[in-house]
Chain A
């Protein structure tokens, strides 16, 4: 038995092998027993991708540790492959000396052919696999044997083979089966025979581990020293939905969510449609434009109007976002980014919609842009986006991405009493002399809602006269209004936390500036470099527009600035333009997150260059 600080496991198999379920259940168990973790599901875009082929491989990576874990890890310590295709696709992700667990039933002639292996070559004997420990077993056969007496059909029996693997991996890491047994019995409460079949196979997998114990070393990861408190599992999209319902409650408003199904944002709609007992209304619209405009209609009616989508859908919503800018009504737009352009890579992650969020509307149409940096952080980022939308009467874009949306990690969730109240500027008292586009000291206009007597007014997408809101084509008035709308957004900088250095040095050689889901990889890289004595710091941007007031000051404390992004350089354009610093990009557009090692290497290269100059 060896003790390790962190272990990265990759489960891979055919889309129908139950890989996502296995990974999720393993995550829940290790979280339950006190490890910190981060996960990364990676599945094909097709619902039923061709069986046994490389394009049909579904993967689930989990990194769990006895210290804080910020990324789903780089190379896998343990890799489970259910067929040849899964091995072929992921071979390069297995760490030298790592353990490969292979289901030999998925390595027959047919599977070899489907994965593109020729002739008599045995994929498990290829030279690339020298130096790995291999555990080869016929999971399918052993699952059938475990359930030989069950009387269940072969089809149902075969479906539980992922539980055999799960049991075996639990054994490997000294994890108790109890949590999964409870989950199975709860999940199949109405079909106890299925529940017990799965439990039997789970135990059979664990016992198989015990019988082969002599040949393989078990790896133990001790519980992590996380901040004390009560935790739950957080999946990004689910937490985003919970934050929206929470913000509406804290503002004393009802939530109206309108969406159109799109990968990877649909889970927000699914989750919110279960919040009806909070008075949450969900509207599945006929298209993306209908979704955003219905949300604006609801906001006009005094609700918190929200819509979410991904790149292609956000593109369709841009005209309506401009309308919301012009109307000055609260609106939250969640963009769960995916690989683009056009349909792009629907199930893969990317951060290439930042400039679209900042500038992608006709006319001068600034609006606040925020970014979430992890599944659990989606809560605070989304809650803050809703607060700004309501208190500043403006549409707000909150950027998430596929990696955050589907990823999971432990979340020390807040109590409702700990959440700040949100104050909508709804009119009250006498309507005498009411002007719908008058402004308070922050530049915010009052919110008069249909049903309020004496406050009737008309709003629209045409330019409005300052204060009265009547249609105006006056040249000076237009310039004034463009300025007032922009100033209102700039004023938000007085009302948001200052930026800070997350970790590493507060001044020195290199500052790594990130936003969104690169958080974990940057934090891991900078922590590691700092521990090695390098002068590296990490600043992560939650508020991208407007930016906190001290960003320029922090940038000036370092000799070099690196901006890693999953795009061809977008935040870096803003930083260079705004602060006139010679920041350097680190770009990756493969539909995959950064590895911490990639960021670490970029920092080292820069430090070396600084040393040479």
Chain B
């Protein structure tokens, strides 16, 4: 199979230049390599620009209602553990109206993939601030600037005991494909935040991280067992107690002094997620990308199946007549 086999005959209707195109292309590209047959794959979305995604995937799919992709997918996966279930959602869909379902999905750890397209704006409703918009941002609904403290999606996911937490960006397709494949291989809920540019209502929100001229100094790509190096290996991160510090390599510090990434360490994953400084802060840390955290933990659907098996073993297969009779009958 090829990427084309995963595309439908429907016209893709995102705005020209939207970051969603790249994400769609990368997903269609990795699926033939993953090898799961299309009939065993389901894409479920909520409402918003990103949620049009299932219409363009030649698999089973559902475009549901605002905020509920996560709960709908939870029911589907619990009912049908053998299916490969992907959730496509946005910052408004999963962090605002659907915030509750997201955290409960993460703690239950159903084996699904969550692709959170974060563009820090409400696009489909034409430009209101979202729960990830930065403080002070001027939008249609915040003419004097946003006064809501924004969510940090990865800290939130880690706080909800997510077992796989990663960040990627629309403008780095190779990295995106690698992380998406690893996310799909992870057994449990894979939470992947994707920085996605809305070129109509919030153009350039992630330019600092995607633009060639600034990317090296502003981004840090995490790799398991490797030191935290960035800016063409001229700079790195050390841990001073619980405080990450940005240092230059060569003088006082060598590679051996740097923090070595261990994605199984939840405390350090949280510290990484807090490297989230606003662009205007002069002493800001680089923004990390890649897999922050990965943990093997039992899945809800697996435990549910196990209880059903146990009930069948101990009580015997359900006998409808016995159920209808109950334990106490009398004859007239």
Chain A interface (Cβ < 8 Å from any Cβ of B): 28, 31-34, 223-224, 226-233, 242, 245-246, 249, 254, 256, 258, 275-281, 283, 285-287, 289-290, 293-298, 300-303, 305, 319-320, 323, 327, 413-416, 450-462, 470-471
Using A293-B72, A296-B72 as known contacts, say yes or no to A277 and B62 having CB atoms under 8 A apart. Answer: no
Q: Which residues of B contact A277 (CB under 8 A)?
A: 308, 311-312, 314-318
| B80 close to A (CB within 8 Å) | yes
Q: Is the CB of B320 within 8 A of A416?
A: yes
Q: Is the CB of B71 within 8 A of A289?
A: yes
Residue picked from B38, B76, B316, most chain A C-beta under 10 Å: B76
Q: Which residues of B contact A281 (CB under 8 A)?
A: 78-79, 304, 308
Q: Which residues of B contact A303 (CB under 8 A)?
A: 79-80
Chain B interface (Cβ < 8 Å from any Cβ of A): 8, 10, 37-42, 44, 47, 54-55, 57-65, 68, 71-80, 82-83, 100-101, 104, 304, 307-308, 311-312, 314-318, 320-321, 323-326, 328-332
Q: Which residues of B contact A228 (CB under 8 A)?
A: 332
Bound Cα distance from A239 to B318, whole angstroms: 16
Select from chain A the residue with minimum beta-carbon distance to B316: A277
Q: Is the CB of A456 within 8 A of B79?
A: no
Q: Is the CB of A32 within 8 A of B63?
A: no
Bound Cα distance from A226 to B332, whole angstroms: 7
User: What is the total of A-B residue contacts with beta carbons within 8 Å?
Assistant: 204
Residue picked from A327, A416, A458, A461, most chain B C-beta under 10 Å: A458
Q: Is the CB of B54 within 8 A of A232?
A: no
Q: Is the CB of A229 within 8 A of B331?
A: yes
Q: Which residues of B contact A320 (CB under 8 A)?
A: 65, 68
Bound Cα distance from A456 to B83, whole angstroms: 13
Bound Cα distance from A34 to B63, whole angstroms: 56
- Interface residue from B61, B100, B318 paired with A286 (Cβ < 8 Å): B100
A-B contact pairs, 26 of them (CB 8 A): A31-B330, A224-B332, A227-B332, A228-B332, A229-B332, A231-B331, A246-B323, A258-B75, A278-B318, A278-B323, A279-B312, A286-B71, A286-B100, A286-B104, A294-B78, A296-B72, A297-B76, A297-B77, A298-B78, A415-B321, A451-B39, A452-B39, A453-B39, A456-B59, A458-B61, A461-B65
Bound Cα distance from A96 to B164, whole angstroms: 72
Q: Is the CB of B323 within 8 A of A293?
A: no
- Interface residue from B38, B72, B74, B78 paired with A456 (Cβ < 8 Å): B38
Select from chain B the residue with minimum beta-carbon distance to A322: B65
Bound Cα distance from A183 to B157, whole angstroms: 50
Q: Is the CB of B62 within 8 A of A276?
A: no
Select from chain B the residue with minimum beta-carbon distance to A250: B320
- Interface residue from A227, A256, A286 paired with B75 (Cβ < 8 Å): A256
Select from chain A the residue with minimum beta-carbon distance to B103: A286
Residue picked from B41, B73, B329, most chain A C-beta under 10 Å: B329
Select from chain A the residue with minimum beta-carbon distance to B331: A230
Using A276-B308, A286-B100, A456-B38 as known contacts, say yes or no to A232 and B328 having CB atoms under 8 A apart. Answer: yes
Q: Is the CB of A285 within 8 A of B71?
A: yes
